Amino acid sequence: MNKASLECRHISLAYGATPVLRDVNLKIEPGEFFALLGPSGSGKSTLLRLIAGFNRHQSGELLIDGQDITGVPPHARNVGMVFQNYALWPHMTVWDNVAFGLVERRETKDAIRRKVGAALELVGLSDYAQRRPAQLSGGQQQRVALARTIVIEPKLLLLDEPLSNLDKQLRVQMREELKNLQRKLGLTTIFVTHDQEEAMTTADRMAVLDKGILQQVGSAAGLYDFPQNRFVAGFVGTANLLEGEVTALSGETLTFHARGLGPLTLPRPAEPPAVGAAALAFRPHQVSICVRDEQGDASRVWLDGQVESAEFLGEFSRYRVRVGEVALVTDQPHYAGIAMFPPGAQVRLGVEPTQLRYLDR
């Protein structure tokens, strides 16, 4: 099977006067399962369609295996795309839907029989070849759309929100199937989603887009543990963000003036931030909570607060705690018998200093 690399160099695209992609630089390695993640309207589909050849960028270069394909029409790019609504032919059987691209390419009858048979087997639909799309479940239609795309042996597989039409349970099952299929084929795959959980559970690496600007590229854990800016910190997972300013750095400590909270003396990280405006980000589950008079672990940074709200979510309880003029969120793992803090409780929050991230954007 083909494995291609894809590279975007300084890609920009505008619809009229509205910029939609701004100076996108991205390299996707051969065989990677890569997610484009971002909120609705961030430009994900526009970028995917551009790779497929349905959109044209105004500046920059788009390269497959190092070759600029800007002028190459969609059908000559050898890129397979699965659309959100699957776009199956309703009057054709599953078999004929999958065979369509091969017939168009005037492949021999023998080759078509062999390739369609193999593609249907790969997606587990050999017994459904004579059905029509309307006689299939959403998940099965999705698999037909996949079979129809991989049967032409594309160099790149593009998936536009492939799971968004499925209900929650099926989505979880299909994302595993998709991942297994991609592993089996080793096909360079780029998939668009607005769902961070979907991106994190399936992709080898992902790019986070906001307002047409690539915010950060990396593995799920890389983005979650080391977000580069406020947007990524808040979009990949949940984050507490304290706005403020780094005012002083000394040998062992750092002073951060948190807006609405006052000065905090914190351990100086190995790679300290510059003095100046910054936000301090940390995850809710990295904050412990205890009653006010309890002596907490001395390695943590302790803040006094009052519980504003408590939500029981099964696996954990989420507390919003007012500290000074800001509200911080803490998630506590749950087990039967654990005491919960009611709204109004006077508590202390312990922040794990190694997990603090300073963001200057």
Which CB sits closer to ligand ADP, 50 or 328? 50
Which CB sits closer to ligand ADP, 43 or 237? 43
Which CB sits closer to ligand ADP, 41 or 234? 41
Beta bridge partners of 191: 35, 159
**12 class by beta-carbon count within 10 Å (0-12 exposed, 13-18 middle, 19+ buried):** middle
Q: Compute the least distance from the CB of residue 15 to ligand ADP, in Å.
A: 3
Residues 323, 304 contacting (CB under 8 angstroms) = yes
Question: What is the Rg, in whole angstroms, of the alpha carbon atoms belonging to the chain?
Answer: 25
Site residues (vs ligand ADP, CB under 6 A): 15, 20, 38, 40-46
Q: Compute the least distance from the CB of residue 18 to ligand ADP, in Å.
A: 6
Which CB sits closer to ligand ADP, 38 or 101? 38
Which CB sits closer to ligand ADP, 44 or 148? 44
Residues 196, 119 contacting (CB under 8 angstroms) = no
CA angle 39, 142, 207 (to 5 degrees): 30
Q: Please name the residue that has the structure tokens 């940074």.
A: 301
Residues 288, 349 contacting (CB under 8 angstroms) = yes
**50 class by beta-carbon count within 10 Å (0-12 exposed, 13-18 middle, 19+ buried):** buried
Q: Compute the least distance from the CB of residue 253 to ligand ADP, in Å.
A: 42
Q: Compute the least distance from the CB of residue 43 to ligand ADP, in Å.
A: 4
Which CB sits closer to ligand ADP, 84 or 286? 84
Q: Which residues are within 8 A (CB) of 92 and not within 5 positions of it... i.e. 6 or more apart?
A: 100, 132, 133
User: Which of the 8 DSSP states describes residue 143?
Assistant: H
Q: Compute the least distance from the CB of residue 46 to ligand ADP, in Å.
A: 3
Q: Compute the least distance from the CB of residue 241 to ligand ADP, in Å.
A: 23
